[in-house]
Structure 1
Amino acid sequence: MEKIKKEYKNILAIYTTYKRLKRELGKPERYPLDPQKIEEDLSSAEFFKLINQG
């Protein structure tokens, strides 16, 4: 259980960073925390394209 909590905290930290970067790139994320949406966002080609442009 402790490992799951640690992984969840890491995922939330990564997602928080993702949302901050999207906001800085002018494309703020407006979705509530949803595990499937988080996975889609963090693996999206659009996000990496924005990072490369920014």
Structure 2
Amino acid sequence: MKTVTVKYASKNLETLINQANENQDVVMIKGNPHSGVLMSEREYHAIMIKLGMKH
């Protein structure tokens, strides 16, 4: 299982999705606790749905 960490906080959900799409092996996306990224559950699910992934 490969995890992609979203390293940069962004108010633009599309930007987060694009960051995730850069890696075709994405299985899970999570915020990096050391970067101060806080991703809400709604954002997480929206990204996973747009990536067509199970979550």
Higher relative contact order (CA 8 A, sep 6+): 2
TM-score by length of 2: 0.29
Larger helix proportion of the pair: 1
TM-score by length of 1: 0.30
Larger Rg: 1
Larger strand proportion of the pair: 2
